[in-house]
Amino acid sequence: MSPSAPRPRILVTRAIFPEVAQRLSEHFEVESNLDDADWNADEIARRLQDKTGALTFGVERITAELLAQCPALKICANMTVGYNNFDLGAMSAAGVLATNAPDVLTETTADFGFALLMATARRVTESEHFLRAGKWTRWSYQMFSGAEVHGSTLGIIGMGRIGQAIARRGAFGFGMKVIYYNRSRLDGATETQCRATYVSKQELLQAADHVMLVVPYSAASHHTIGVAELALMKPSATLINIARGGIVDDAALAAALRDKRIAAAGLDVFEGEPRVHPDLLTVPNVVLTPHIASATAGTRRDMAMLAVDNLIGYLMHGKAVTPLNASGLQGRI
């Protein structure tokens, strides 16, 4: 980029850490959503019309329709690892790079996945509500008996970075037998490092005491867990979803929880979030959290800084750090 050229214009679609905004302002002309307003698609398109880049947060739909209104746009940098808000085909056709933020949230998200598993298996939410309501007046041997975690069987669907980090926690920290199902089997060395055994999806659902979902969302993974899959699980099993909304059929899950066809569930993500299926709010045997698996200050800051690295790398030097569709954009910058 020539020193005399005008600085690229960037849109930050939600409120962000001050130090992240400051770093962006050192390189770009920045329009920020300081009020953290919920801009709709038309508002985002209007504000992007004269922008070269955007720092997005995983919820803004970048579609062919929007891209047609934003001829100057060259890059959208998600600060999330997920990117199902991006139409990658349309972005490539329009010459717009997509980037995400992998790796920096792996361990934090795996920590939370295990926290959600523990809270679900040991009925933490149910028992806290019971206590807060003043119902705890005596001890009894069966009060809030939950499921064993140590030494139980952990089934992981989706064995990428986060799935592997969860497997290591289960195997080495809790002495769990770890089985997994993935689109493709891991190499032997990685399986050994995770003490994990590859099985079919059906075998996993039938054998696991705790099923953990860590699979990316796509049309192919929509309702990975539905009525048929829930029917395969043990009545004593728990289901944990830290992946994406839509991986689980939330209505079918609520019915299975209500009928005690599985013991409990822990959910950090939901279909149509932030809306939560109303039936999930009526069953006691579910732990619900508002998409916070990566929510530590350090991790969220690192995610945002990686998005900034992608914007600076691509717009200033022609190379992003974590591109998603670079192969479709050869020669465009």
What are the distances in angstroms from CA 254 to CA 64, 217, 268, 276, 330?
35, 20, 15, 11, 47
Instruction: Report the 10 Å Cβ neighbour count for 74.
Output: 20
| Residue that the structure tokens 């049309």 belong to | 219
Please name the helix (run of DSSP H) or strand (run of DSSP E) that holds residue 93, with its range, or none. Answer: helix 88-93
Alpha carbon distance 310, 292 (integer Å): 23
Q: What DSSP string describes 152-166?
A: SEEEEE--SHHHHHH
Q: Could you write out the DSSP letters of every residue in 215-254?
A: PPP-TTTTTSB-HHHHHHS-TT-EEEE-S-TTSB-HHHHH
Nearest to 129 by CA among 296, 294, 312, 287: 287
Residue 298 corresponds to which amino acid? Answer: G
* Alpha-carbon span 256 to 204, nearest angstrom: 18
Check 14, 23, 291, 300 and give the catalytic one.
Answer: 291
Tallying the residues shown for the chain, one arrives at 333
Residue 191 appears among annotated catalytic residues? no
Please report which helix (H) or strand (E) contains residue 179, including its range.
strand 177-181
Give me the catalytic one of 244, 271, 277, 300. Answer: 244
Catalytic, 271? Answer: no
Closest CA to 261 of 286, 232, 281, 240: 232
244 catalytically annotated: yes
Identify whether 18 is preceded by a cis peptide bond (ω within 30 of 0): no
Active site residues: 244, 273, 291
